[in-house]
Amino acid sequence: MERKCFGLFFVLLMIFASEMEIMPQVEARVCMSPSHGYHGPCLRDHNCALVCRNEGFSGGDCVGVQRKCYCTKLC
């Protein structure tokens, strides 16, 4: 009987501990700005992101039908 109580206590403790770790995730907004240093059609997001990092942004993406390079950062 003592083992069953210990097992039940352990399971309840694990459930309680797992509930304590769940925090609501807050997503930051992403601000976009056209790149001033990227010239030509934006074919790869990686190249755009490298140019944007040199401009002080956190990354970049090719956007739209015309494939323009837009730099991104959390705002």
Q: Could you report the per-residue pLDDT of 31-67, keeping only the tens digit for each?
A: 999 999 999 999 999 999 999 999 999 999 999 999 9
For residue 53, what pLDDT is reported? 96
> Under CATH, what is the fold of the domain 29-75?
Defensin A-like (3.30.30)
Q: What is the pLDDT of residue 71?
A: 96
Half-sphere exposure of 67 (CA within 13 A, CB side): 9
Within 10 A of 61 (CB to CB), how many other CB atoms are there? Answer: 17
Mean pLDDT of 18-40: 78
Give 60's strand partners.
71
Joined together, the tokens standing for residue 74 give: 């959390």
Residues 74 and 30: beta-carbon distance below 8 Å: yes
Strands lying side by side in the sheet with 68-74: 30-34, 68-74, 59-63
